[in-house]
Each structure stands twice: as C-alpha cells, then as structure tokens.
Structure 1
Amino acid sequence: MDLRQLEYFVAVAEERNFTRAAERVHISQSGVSSQIRQLERELGAELFDRSGRTARLTVAGKAALEHARAALAAAHAVGQAVGEVTDVIRGQVVVGMVVGCTVTPLFDALAAFHQAHPGVEITLVEDASEQLADGVRDGAVDLALIGCAGGTPGGLDAFTVVSERLVAVVPAGHPLAGPGGADSDGGADPVTLREVAGHPLVCMPRGTGLRGVLDQACAEQRLDPVIALQASAPDAIAGLAARGLGVGVLSESTAPRHRDLPAARPIADVDIPALLALVWRGTHPPAVRELVAHCRRAFTRP
C-alpha cells in the first residue's frame, strides 16, 4: 500500500466515477483501476461496488475512506513542516479573483511569488465574490481578491486594497450628465441615489461587492430600481451606459475612461464603501503565508 493508491482511492470515492477520478489525478482510467485493484488485493476486500453507473463505496470502502484521507493529510503535513524549517516551500495554492477584475498588483505579486518559490503550483480561478469567499471558508480556495459591501467577510483574515464610493456613468446629453459634466475643480458634480434609481440601471450581477453596495443602499432608502442590464466587467458596463442602455453604476476606480462618457458622477448619499480586499483563512500553510506577504508588498508599493 502506498500514498498514490490512497490518493486514487479517495479521488474515486469523491468523484464516484473512475473516469473523472482519472482526470483529477492526471493519469489514465486503466491506471487508476489497476492501482485500486492492487489496493483491494492488499486489503483483502473490495472497496467499490462497480455494478451500477457510479462507483459506490462498499462497507469496507466506507470504513477505509476517512483513514485514507487522514493518511494523505498527514503526509502533506510532513512535507509542509520539513519545507518550513528548511525554507523550501512546495505544494499548490489556489488563488481566486473576482470576475471582470484586472488588478495589476495581484499579477505582480503572483509573478514575484512564482520566482521566489518555483516549487509551488499556482492555480487562478475566477468567480463572483460571494462564491470566492465561500471557497476560502471551505478550503477550496487559499486566497481570494474579492469585492465587498461595507466590510470584509466575517471569519476570514483580510487586507483591504481599495475603499471607495459608487459613481454613476452616463453619456453626454443624458439627464444626469449635468452641465458640461464636471465642476470647476475638474471633478464631477454629485447626484443622489434617488436620481440614479429613477433611470434603468446597468450594473454588476448579484454576488459581487458593487452590487451588494447598490442593493443595500437602495434597501435603506426604500428604492426599487429597474435593473436593465447586468455585466461582470466594468468596461462592459461603461460601454452599455455609453450607448444609452441605462445608467452605469460602478466604483470610482472601476469607472473606465470612455470617449462617449463624461466624468463619472459620485452618488453622494451612499455612504456604504465598496471594498476590494484580499481574504484568506486564519490557519494556512507556509505557501499561502508567503503569497499573502507578496500581495501586501505589491498592493502597498508606491
């Protein structure tokens, strides 16, 4: 019996399918089947009922599963402990990033981390902020850059990157564009949320930080705006707003420069900040700790 066989056994048990398990561990299905058969011979019992369309654990398989998981976790902990004391960090980190968010400092941090620790495999995934936060809590994601409404998620360590207000983006000639679009200081005149909500809106989908701020603020003022269109990328929201399809709602830094848009107008009576933050679990392996340090440096660099 070896750790490779236990890894394949756990993969089949969790996927309930030999083909998917083989894809997960990056070997052929026949290789997985062969190793599982060998493990069953060594244990003297069948671990899976193969008579149906799914691979179901037998009584013996159920008894073995948690012990197999514990053995794999212990082996991983041994490697991490040795790596920590010898200053060699290996393994894998899963980094989450909110959909439609291109943040150069995060990419700089990943590049610097990869150069310093080439033995760590980096996986980058995109999703909505709420799903990424849940992934961090569940352990599926190690570190995530997410949008938050008013504050960072509870139960997680966090580093706030940006805290800013909502703005409304409209094309020239729109009733909210104002005279000339900007004041004498070069900034845009503010508008109220009620004025904004009086028009169809183009905004982020639910589950994103910016949408959370908008929904909370509207609920506080008992407003029920019409959401005309939703898009995950700020450029898409700006492009749709520029074509008169609705008032775009973004944050100050995500409102892109667009040739058909005047200066973005701050929504004056929304005090809930739109946050962009890094979040991670309080207990984490050395690789995650090092990546967090690289991210802090990248985001605080002048």
Structure 2
Amino acid sequence: MELQQMRYVVAVAETGGFTRAAERCHVVQSALSHQIARLEKELGARLFDRTSRSVRLTAAGEAFVPVARQALQAAERARAEVAAATGEVRGRLAVGAISTVGAVDLARELGDFHTRYPQVQISLLMDMTEPLVESVRDGALDVAFIGMVPTARTTGVREKELARSELVAVVPPDHPLAGREWTTLARVARENFVDYMAGSAARRQRDDAFRAAGLDSEVAFEVTSVEFLAQLVRAGLGIGMVPEPTASGLPGLRTVRVRPAPERTERVVWSAQGPSPAALAFLSALGVDPE
C-alpha cells in the first residue's frame, strides 16, 4: 500500500469522479485508475461503485477514506517536522474561521505569515464553530477561530480565549429602535429575528441570554453567515444580534445596545496532539503559547 494510492482514492472521493481526481493529482486518468485497482486487489475489496453516471464509495471505501486521510496527514506532518528540525518551516497551514472573527485581522496575519514562510501552503475555510472544531479534532484543519458563549467548553482540542464581547442588535435605518442608543432584552424579544441555525454555537450566544431572562423569541430566517444576516435585516425581514465589533462593519444598519447583553468569547483552537511546525509558527505570531 502506497501513499500515492491513498492520495488517489481520497481525490476520487472528494471530487466525485476519476477524471476530476486525475486532473487534481496531475496524472492521466488511466494511471490513476490502475493504481486504485491495484490497491483494491491488495485490500480484497472494491472501494468504489462505478456507473456510467457516477462514482460512489462502497462500505469498504467509506471505512478506508478517513484512515487514508489520516495517513496522508501523518506523512505530511513527518516531512514538516524533519524540515523544522533543520530550521525550515514548511508543509501546510489549514486555517478555519467563523465569519464574525474580529479578535485578529486574519487577512493581515495570513499575509504576514505567507511573506515570512513562503514554503508553507496556506488554506482558509469559513464555517460555523461546530464543524470547525470537528475539523481541527480530525486533523483537517490546523487552527480555527471560533465564537462561543463564555461558559461553553470544547473537547478534543486545545484553546485560548482571544477576546470577549457583547452582542448588539442591528436594525434597518427606518426601524423604531434605530434612533435609540440602547434598549432592553425584553423589547427586542418582541421582534422577528434573523439568526444562525438552531443548535449552533452562534445561535446559543443569544438563546442562552433570552432563556436566562425567561424570554422567548421568534426566528423567521436562519442563516450561516453574517453577510446574509445583514442582507435580510436591511430588507426589513427581521432584526439580528451580532458581536459589537462585527456590527461596525455592516453598512446600512443601525446598532442598538441591549441590556442585559448576551456575551460571547472568541477563541483560537488547535490539535490536542500539539501544533504542527507551521501551526506553531502561526500561533506564536499571534502571541499564543501552545504549551
């Protein structure tokens, strides 16, 4: 069993086809298909069900792909560790972040890191907190910037709190609350809300505060990004609540402080097994000591 064979299998699983996988791996399709067939013969099981219209993982394939990803990540980590031992930082830096990250200027930090460590391949994934933490736990991401209520705890990763902020209401300019500096939680509870998906960490930042005050709220629109939340609020379809630093970057909306205010923390998380050399260099640049 060879790493290249694993890489081909993972590519087919992720692209959904042999042609696209071959393009990603920069090989001819016949060579990729031959290597996967050799691997299937060695394993004694087919990894893919192939039809004229689709390629789907078999049960054996579903079991094989996650382990293959781990093996590829381990090999990549081994190469990076050897390079680090000789004083060179290389390999990959896979970063995840929520759309409301504000504790760091992520674009600037990534740009500075790229300038300092040009041999490191950098990628960025924007998502919600829960899948980001899971991706760090599984090794798909090296570092992630997340937001959670102050009392929430992560599992299977290491973390550091970067900032703590209050949620504020954002409303259209013609809304009755638009001219106010502040209002009560009970008053905003009477509004329809644009909010994140039920059960998400972003949603719990508001839900917990309402629950603690004995209040209910009506969520008419569920979104996955602050940009779309802002668009729906501008259209007059509801109000939203976002971290105060985020609200200042949403043009066309008015900000209203709320009392008592829901709180959230921004955190950076990394692998419980310790950061890779590239992740260690990135965390150190942020002033985070992973020890």
TM-score normalised over the length of structure 2: 0.76
Among 265, 268, 287, the alignment partner of 2:256 is: 265
Name the structure 2 match of 1:168. 169
Counterparts of residues 64-143 of structure 1 (less than 5 Å): 75-99=75-99, 105-143=105-143
Map of 2:267 onto structure 1: 277
Give the distance between the partners of 1:138 and 1:68, measured in 2 at CA: 12
**Partner secondary structure for residue 118 of structure 2:** coil
Pair 1:154–1:81, CA change in 2 (3 A): same
SS of alignment partner, residue 279 of structure 1: strand
TM-superposition CA deviations, 1:274-300 (whole Å, max 9, x none)? 122221113221111112122338xxx
| 2:203 counterpart residue number | 211
Give the distance between the partners of 2:23 and 2:191, measured in 1 at CA: 49
Q: Indicate the residue corresponding to 1:245 in structure 2.
A: 237
In the alignment, the residues of structure 2 paired with residue 117 and residue 150 of structure 1 have an alpha-carbon distance, to the nearest angstrom, of 34
Query: 1:300 maps to what in 2?
Result: none
Taking only aligned residues, the RMSD between alpha carbons, in angstroms, comes to 4.0
Separation of aligned partners in 1, 2:86 and 2:14 = 34
Residue pair 2:81, 2:276 contacting (<8 A) in 1 also: no
The 10-residue stretch of structure 1 (232-241 or 116-125) with the greater mean CA deviation from structure 2: 232-241
Give the 3 Å change call, closer, same or farther, for CA 250–29 of structure 1 in structure 2: same
Which amino acid is 1:199 matched to?
Answer: E
1:193 aligns with 185
- C-alpha contact (below 8 Å) 1:170/1:261 kept by paired residues: yes
**1:74-133 deviations in Å (ceiling 9; x for gaps):** 644542331121111222222112236577711111112112222211111111122111
What is the match of residue 35 of structure 2? 35
User: Would the alpha carbon gap of residues 196 and 233 (structure 1) be closer, same or farther in structure 2, given more than 3 Å must change?
Assistant: same
Give the CA deviation at 1:229: 3.0
Q: How many residues align?
A: 282
Residues in 2 aligned to 1:35 and 1:91: alpha-carbon distance in whole angstroms: 25
Conserved 8 A contact 1:241-1:247:
yes
User: 2:279 corresponds to which residue?
Assistant: 288
Identity %: 33
Q: Is the 8 A contact 1:203 1:250 kept in 2?
A: no
Q: Secondary structure at the match of 1:165?
A: strand
Alignment partner, residue 254 of structure 1:
246
Greater alpha carbon shift after TM alignment, 234-243 vs 74-83: 234-243
- Bigger radius of gyration: 1
Identify the residue that residue 158 of structure 1 maps to in structure 2.
159
Which stretch shifts more, 288-297 or 123-132?
288-297
Residue matched to 1:226: 218
Determine if contact 2:73/2:139 at 8 Å carries over to the other structure: no
1-side partners of 2:107 and 2:117: how far apart?
A: 15
| CA shift for structure 1 position 233 | 4.6
The 2-side partners of 1:235 and 1:49 are apart by: 40
Alpha-carbon distance in 2 for matches of 1:116, 1:9: 34
| Aligned 8 A contact 1:18 1:33 in 2 | yes
Distance verdict in 2 for CA 1:143–1:207, change over 3 Å: farther
Note the 1:10-25 alignment, pairs <5 A: 18-19=18-19, 21-22=21-22, 25=25
Q: Is the 8 A contact 1:105 1:295 kept in 2?
A: no
User: For structure 2, which runs of at least 5 residues remain unmatched after alignment?
Assistant: none
Note if contact 1:204-1:210 (Cα within 8 Å) is conserved in structure 2. Answer: yes
How many Å apart are 1:34 and its aligned residue?
2.9
Query: 1:30-70, CA deviations, whole angstroms, 9 ceiling, x for partnerless residues?
Result: 221233456689x6x86647786456588xx99x9999788
User: How far, CA to CA, are the matches of 2:48 and 2:253 in structure 1?
Assistant: 62
Structure 1 pair 66–261 and aligned structure 2 pair: CA distance change class (3 A): closer
- Indicate conservation of the 8 Å contact 1:22/1:28, yes or no: yes
Q: Unaligned stretches of 5+ in structure 1? A: 182-187, 298-302
The separation in 1 between residues aligned to 2:9 and 2:160, in whole angstroms, is: 38
The 1:50–1:2 alpha-carbon spacing in structure 2 relative to 1, beyond 3 Å, is: closer
The alignment's TM-score, normalised by the length of structure 1, stands at 0.73
Contact 2:84–2:90 at 8 Å: present in 1 too?
no
